[in-house]
Structure 1
Amino acid sequence: MHQRIADAPNKTVKGWERFPRLCRYMIRTRYSHHVVHHRRTFKQDHVTQFQSESEREALDRELADRGHHGQIIQRSGYAVRLHGSGALVFIAPLLPAIPLTSFTLGLWGTLGSCVALALPPLFSHFIHPYLHMPHARAVREAPRATAWLLRRWYFRSMARNHYMHHRYVASNFNLVLGGDVLRRRYRPPAETDLREMQRLGLRID
């Protein structure tokens, strides 16, 4: 979904725009994630959301023209966390997996699947905002439990993986590590990438 909808290529979006009512939520999801989060914010670098207040104000004016959807994007911190109906759009495609696993895997298989399915939205809402901060600042500003997680190897690796997604948008889509390897979308950081991460204050160990 991240690859095919949230970061869909322009050619795909033009196809959706032929059927605006049918594809409304896909168009909105792609706009909030790819356009706002990838293109209209964090333009200077991975840890600087806006280069100036005037840049933020220009985006706010654009979002005001989009009505309720623009308000959702603003309240989500400009698509750094899930908010309102945006969260529902993110979660809804995962829900059919619950009855499917209940029929095929039984109670324990369903519970395990629910845990796995819950990780992407939980990470997107609670962890993702701190992946766009220098590590020291993220640990300082995060709630205590989140800060403890951010110090762990897994979440430091997640921060590096997410940096690579922003730098090379056609790879490293998953906050749940390993998913990109399974889908052959993983791109390891080169030395130049590691140096830039270190300059920005991300942990590279």
Structure 2
Amino acid sequence: MLDFILALTGFGLLFHVQASFWESLFHEHVLDLTPERRVRFHTLRGIWPRLWATHFDHGVLHHYRTFRQSYVEMFHDADEEARLKAGLRRQFPQHLAEAFTQTRYGSTFTWLGLLPFAIPVWLNLLWLLALPPGAATAGCLAANLVFSTPYLVFSKWVHPYMHMRFEDAMQETSGLLRRILGSPYGVAIRISHYVHHQDPKVNYNLQYLADRLRGRWRAPTPEEWDDMISLSLVEPHHRTQLEGRTFLGHPF
């Protein structure tokens, strides 16, 4: 039992740091490329088309082709989405155009698109080759499942609700997902994510840590707090509780 606990604790710490850094770096250098870097990255389109599609899905469609008029409304009307779909069908093969629709234009990802997001999870399985069968191996597997996957879970199931009004998100969800969204951490990443959309060079993490250590995190300005309140993205009591405070190791 002791071997399991030690392996779970040690590997858990390692895997959390690793996953948080992967998320932050992958988000900055693949998903949210600057226009200048996007030109250079375009050369990879023929080598790894799925990686290019992942970038286009999130960095272009999610950030610039949707939520254009309001942070909490993906499209102004049905015609706007229809025009986007038509443009994608002209620009990309049918299977890619359909994949962009399935991901809701970068708001989540399909299981086919899981591979680049989950690279740390796959790599951590190599530890099993060096560990003897038994409690330590079980602890490593448990740590990989618990500590390497939160940003995958958040990216697929939580992120789509980051752009919804708080009360709407709470009404549309139930169970564990509702608990996550309503928790202090869920509200914190909702606030942090809003700042990311105002300033795409900061606040990449949904699994907190690396942004802070890399100097890629900033708190919302008073004006951004006002905007979030006016959008009903958060409620006034959230501002009272969180503005300028530190809780759960998270820098609000």
**TM > 0.5 between the two?**
yes
Name the aligned partner's letter for residue 178 of structure 2: A
2:34 pairs with 1:13: no
TM-score (norm 1): 0.90
How many Å apart are 1:109 and its aligned residue? 4.2
Match of 1:133 in 2: 164
Contact 2:163 2:233 in 1 (8 A): no
Match of 1:175 in 2: 206
Compare 140-149 and 50-59 and name the one that shifted more.
140-149
Question: How many residues get paired?
Answer: 205
Percent identity over the alignment is 25
Please identify the structure whose Cα radius of gyration is greater: 2
Q: Which runs of 5+ in 2 are unaligned?
A: 1-25, 240-252
Contact 2:44 2:52 in 1 (8 A): no
- CA RMSD, Structure 1 to Structure 2 (Å): 2.1
**Aligned residue among 105, 118, 123 for 1:91:** 118
Match of 1:49 in 2: 74
2:109 pairs with 1:82: yes
CA distance in 1, matches of 2:129, 2:76: 49
| Equivalent position SS for 2:43 | coil
Contact 1:13 1:27 in 2 (8 A): no
Name the aligned partner's letter for residue 39 of structure 1: Y
CA distance in 2, matches of 1:19, 1:75: 23
Contact 1:47 1:132 in 2 (8 A): yes
How many Å apart are 1:111 and its aligned residue? 2.9
1:60-117 superposed Cα distances (whole Å, 9 cap, x missing partner)? 112223221111110122221121322233224542133148648x532453243221
| Equivalent position SS for 1:18 | helix
The verdict on how the C-alpha distance between 1:165 and 1:22 changes in structure 2, with shifts beyond 3 A counting, is same
Compare 78-87 and 193-202 and name the one that shifted more.
78-87
| Equivalent position SS for 1:96 | helix
Contact 1:101 1:113 in 2 (8 A): no
CA distance in 2, matches of 1:49, 1:101: 43
2:176 pairs with 1:145: yes
Q: Which has the higher contact order (CA 8 A, sep 6+)?
A: 2
